[in-house]
Amino acid sequence: MTDAILFWFLALVTVCAGLSVILMSNPIYSALSLAMTMVGVSALFVTLGAYFIAGVQLIVYAGAVMVLFVMVLMLFDLKHEIQAFTRGKITGAIKIASVGILAGLVVGAITLGTKAIEAAKATEAVAGKTYDNNTMSLAQNLFLQNVFGFEALGVLLLVIAVGTVALSRSRGGTHARD
Amino acid sequence: MPETNILTTIGLEHYLVLSAVLFSMGMAGVLLRRNLIVLLMSIELMLNAVNISFVAFSKFNNNIEGQIMVFFVMTIAAAEAAVGLALAVSIFKRFKEVNIRFFEHLKG
Amino acid sequence: MSHQALIAILLLSPFVGFLLNGLRYRSQNYVLAGSIATGAVFVSFICSVMLMMDLIAAPADQRRLTANFFEWIAVGGFKVNAGFVVDQISSIMILIITGVGSLIHLFSIGYMHHDKGVTKYFAYLNLFVFNMLILVLGDSLLTMFVGWEGVGLCSYLLIGFWFSDAAKAAAGMKAFITNRVGDAAFIIGMFILFFSFGTLNMYELNALAPTTVEASWLGAATLGTLMLFIGATGKSAQVPLYVWLPDAMAGPTPVSALIHAATMVTAGVYMIVRLNPMFVAAPNTMMIVAIVGAITAVMAATIGLTQYDIKKILAYSTVSQLGYMFLAVGVGAFGAGMMHLMTHAFFKALMFLGSGSVIHAMEGEQDTRLMGGLKKYLPITHFTFLMGWLAIIGFPLFSGFFSKDEILWQSFASPRGSVFLWVAGAIGATLTAFYMTRLMALTFWGKSRVPKEVHPHESPVIMTIPLIVLAILSVVGGFIGVPHLIGEYLGHIPNYWAEWLAPVIKTLPEAAAPHTATQEWALMTTSVTLALISAFVAYRIYTSGKGTNEAIAKAFGPVYNVVNNKYFVDEAYFGGIINPLVKQSQNLWMYIDVNFIDKTTHVISDMTKGAGSLARSFQTGNMQQYAMYIGLGVVVVLTFVLMR
């Protein structure tokens, strides 16, 4: 009963914060709402028993990435936006409709597929390997089975760091002709 | 299988529906907002939604690989945010505004 | 050294020279370029001599050195090797090509030293020698054809060497296009022979040649050889495709000597001699060859009578002499044809180089009306030219005498000859003596008509040495093929030439009608006497120094006009073939191309453009719209999956 209350509370917080991300016309509010969403998602990870991931979520997203966003916003010194949303009523309607239909379809797919998932879970639990939901098993998996991907990510981050510096130093952005 | 109360018994589908709702919200942001930075934020929202479903699957299927994938997605998301913001910075330097309509050179 | 290696060096040496000079074609160091080119050809000459000695050392029936480098084409039953062969016929050719070739290269150093493109010139010249060697050494018709086209290309490049002059560039193109006509026939001939005999290898073809002569016009051997002969009329400048050769004199004079007198233009004769068993089996073709040769010999000689450009006279003379060679091979006197090929290479190369020396001395002037009396300014050139003159008019015991007389005798005495051919040949010889004497008289003898500002001077040693060597060859070259009749009076000199070629020459199957020595003597005396008389007349007319040209023109009236305009052959080609062709092409362009093909393509392109502009409206450049398309796509796919 406790975890149910916790889940519903966190779901409410996350969805409200997510809605304000896309509805706030001032980007600073959007950023703050996004940080709130991150925290909510992190708490949801805790309810799922993924403690390490929850911590990383807090540090990387709520910490580093959000700081990056806020810093950039501060750099731009943006005011309240007059036109936050795209123009064009027809396309806007199509977009909203498509998003709504997508959400409905996905939810429908989930409810339809739940039975299959339950069945799969039953067979998996019989044949499945033992899985201690702790940080050590995560680390073992990451550094034994997925060490190549891990190293590749390191290289990717290095490339991104260099690329970001190069992009930021260029004058005129994508329209650079001068 | 006995009838379960949808409000009190939290299962995989709850997390998945939440994930779907968050994802759709992020997608609406990407489609509708004009500010490049808010656009990037919406993408982060979508990635987070996906992360929720990964972890949920990992938990309910007893498979640690889901969390590994979350780890990778986070790294990619951070990198993507860095590049996106760098692009926003260069756009801003040029136009003193970060509007998506400046990315319209793909017009055929 | 093995003969394979020798043949390889023989072939590759000029090619290496071509590469060395061709890669540094901007250089103006004429000494270096000339040394490389001359050295390359000289190396080939040494190889040729060594190969020749190998051949002489071998027994008479084994005189064939082959070198198969690799299999070039193998498609089903069709196999061609990059095979080269030195035998009795090709050994003579390679000696002429590389020997005369190196002399002409040497001469070129002196003649071309002031030219800006001298390195390019030598590169082309070496490439020519390389291709010519492929032509004569190739053991199959296809290999020969590679060289055949290669020399055509080099000829084109060298005729149009001074391409900034539109007329000279046009002359190059004329040569190339005229040769194309012949080459098409040559290819058809190859098709026919391959279709009928299943091989293009010349030895196999010769072995497969029908043993009984073909009486029909449509036999494989007759048709095939006829087509090959049409190819030869293009390359060897025979009626009706001779028109390019006089214009080819636009090139540098040593080129005229090497390509358009000594080597390339004789390729047709060589090809016929090479395939002589096949031609022997096709008497109808041989008849055509002989008639065409005789007509060419007389016709070109008459045109030569009226020309004033020193090189044009020599060019028509070359056409005429080539006609003699075809006359010889047409009546089955293959040995005599080859002999005349060789002696002609000597004396005509000599005369072209001599004319080059004269032009050099006259600072580029080619018109004989502005020469005369050059004897005292150019003693060496004059003397060597004199030797060439004596050789070409057939003065007894000079090289041209032996070869030309043998041809005349064979054209009468051969089973496939006739008295008409002899008459044509004799007329040609008489005319030859006349116009060559006229050339001598106008250029070297009589009073000087040289303009005041030109000061003729003798050419440098590097140019006179080749002249002297060639003069010696022109004088004595005939003695290796002295006819039996004359040989008896000169201390029983054997006819080395006939003995050498005997194993590869097929004798005519028809029995020769009996001819007496008296007849031979009579005919020989007649032709020589006619030639000498006409030479004397020409000497009298043209050294007297009066306004003779106009007088002659008036005396002959319309005939002179027709001859002077080269029988209006060029005009006939233009009126009859080229202009209608251009007209028809224009019609095709106007009605078929513009109205039909263009319109069709326009309709298609308009349809494409319409479809494109429709698709274009989706490409707004708005990224969010693209994202919407993706979302819609996902929706559609998901719907499809769930509704299944």
Whether the predicted model's global pTM rises above the 0.80 cut: no
Given an 8 Å threshold on Cβ–Cβ distance, is C621 in contact with B108?
Answer: yes
Is the pLDDT assigned to residue C408 strictly greater than 80? yes
Which amino acid type is present at position C354?
G
Mean pLDDT of C49-56: 90
Closest CA of chain B from A116, distance in Å: 12
**Whole-number pLDDT of residue C502:** 85
Given an 8 Å threshold on Cβ–Cβ distance, is C631 in contact with A99?
Answer: yes
Neighbours of A104 (CB within 10 A): 14
How far is CA C204 from each of CA C139, C192, C274, C275, C289, rounded to the nearest angstrom? Answer: 10, 15, 12, 10, 23
**Whole-number pLDDT of residue A34:** 92
**Whole-number pLDDT of residue B62:** 80
Q: Choose the CATH number for B12-103 among 1.10.357.10, 3.40.190.10, 1.10.287.3510, 2.40.240.10.
A: 1.10.287.3510
Q: Which residue of C has its CA nearest to A99?
A: C631
Domain boundaries, chain B: 12-103
Given an 8 Å threshold on Cβ–Cβ distance, is C621 in contact with B100?
Answer: no
Share of chain C above pLDDT 90, in %: 40
C121 with C258: CB under 8 angstroms? no
C196 with C224: CB under 8 angstroms? yes
**Whole-number pLDDT of residue C314:** 92
What whole-number distance in Å separates Cα of residue C203 and Cα of residue C163? 41
Considering chain B, what is the average pLDDT of its residues?
Answer: 83
Is the pLDDT assigned to residue C188 strictly greater than 90? yes
C88 with C503: CB under 8 angstroms? yes
What whole-number distance in Å separates Cα of residue C107 and Cα of residue C481? 28
Please, what is the angle between helix B12-32 and helix A27-47, to 10°?
Answer: 160
**Whole-number pLDDT of residue A176:** 47
Mean pLDDT of C495-505: 85
Strand ranges (E), C477-567: none
Is the pLDDT assigned to residue C560 strictly greater than 50? yes
In the DSSP assignment, the letter for residue C211 is: S
Residues of B whose CB is below 8 A from C621: 104-108
C232 with C238: CB under 8 angstroms? yes
Nearest CB among B32, B103, B108 relative to C619 is that of B108
Instruction: Name the β-bridge partners of C105.
Output: none
Domain boundaries, chain C: 1-139, 140-564, 570-643
Chain A, 108 to 167: residues with Cβ < 8 Å from chain C are: 108-109, 112
Six token digits for residue A99 = 């998003």
Q: Residue C274's closest CA among C138, C83, C72, C414?
A: C138
Neighbours of A37 (CB within 10 A): 30
What whole-number distance in Å separates Cα of residue B13 and Cα of residue A69? 32
Confidence of residue C210 (pLDDT cuts 50, 70, 90): confident
Residues of C whose CB is below 8 A from A98: 628, 631-632, 635
Is the pLDDT assigned to residue A124 strictly greater than 60? no
Q: Which residue of B has its CA nearest to C618?
A: B108
Q: Of the given ranges (A129-143, B67-81, C117-131, C423-437), which has the lowest mean pLDDT?
A: A129-143
C145 with C179: CB under 8 angstroms? no
**Helix (H) or strand (E) run with residue C81 in it:** strand C78-87
| B17/A contact by beta carbon, under 8 A | yes
Is the pLDDT assigned to residue C264 strictly greater than 80? yes
Q: Of the given ranges (A144-148, B2-6, C143-147, C349-353), which has the lowest mean pLDDT?
A: B2-6
Mean pLDDT of C453-470: 87
**Helix (H) or strand (E) run with residue C72 in it:** strand C64-75
Is the pLDDT assigned to residue C51 strictly greater than 70? yes
Mean pLDDT of C18-26: 90
**Whole-number pLDDT of residue B6:** 72
Confidence of residue A15 (pLDDT cuts 50, 70, 90): very high
Confidence of residue A36 (pLDDT cuts 50, 70, 90): very high
Nearest CB among A98, A108, A112 relative to C631 is that of A98
Mean pLDDT of A61-81: 80
Given an 8 Å threshold on Cβ–Cβ distance, is C624 in contact with A86?
Answer: yes
**Whole-number pLDDT of residue B7:** 74
C301 with C316: CB under 8 angstroms? yes
C48/C547: higher pLDDT = C48
Given an 8 Å threshold on Cβ–Cβ distance, is A50 in contact with B55?
Answer: yes
Is the pLDDT assigned to residue C636 strictly greater than 50? yes
Is the pLDDT assigned to residue A175 strictly greater than 60? no
Give which of C628, C629, C630, C637 to mutate to test A binding, by max A Cβ within 10 Å: C628
Q: Residue A9's closest CA among A34, A35, A46?
A: A46
End-to-end CA distance of chain A: 64
Is the pLDDT assigned to residue A79 strictly greater than 90? no
How many CB pairs below 8 Å do chains A and C form together?
Answer: 28
C496/C316: higher pLDDT = C316
Given an 8 Å threshold on Cβ–Cβ distance, is C631 in contact with B108?
Answer: no
**Whole-number pLDDT of residue B1:** 44
Residues of B whose CB is below 8 A from A163: 83, 86
C250 with C160: CB under 8 angstroms? yes
Please, what is the angle between helix B36-61 and helix A66-76, to 10°?
Answer: 170
Torsion of CA A163, A168, A171, A172, to 10 degrees: 90
Model confidence over A25-34: pLDDT tens digits?
888 888 999 9
Neighbours of C59 (CB within 10 A): 6
Given an 8 Å threshold on Cβ–Cβ distance, is B108 in contact with C628?
Answer: no
Highest mean pLDDT among A131-135, C147-151, C502-506, C545-549: C147-151
C96/B34: higher pLDDT = C96
Confidence of residue C328 (pLDDT cuts 50, 70, 90): very high
**Whole-number pLDDT of residue A119:** 63
Q: Provide CATH code, domain A1-85.
A: 1.20.120.1200
**Whole-number pLDDT of residue C97:** 93
How far is CA B51 from each of CA B11, B16, C48, C55, C402, rounded to the nearest angstrom? Answer: 17, 10, 86, 91, 105
| A98/C contact by beta carbon, under 8 A | yes
Is the pLDDT assigned to residue A128 strictly greater than 70? no
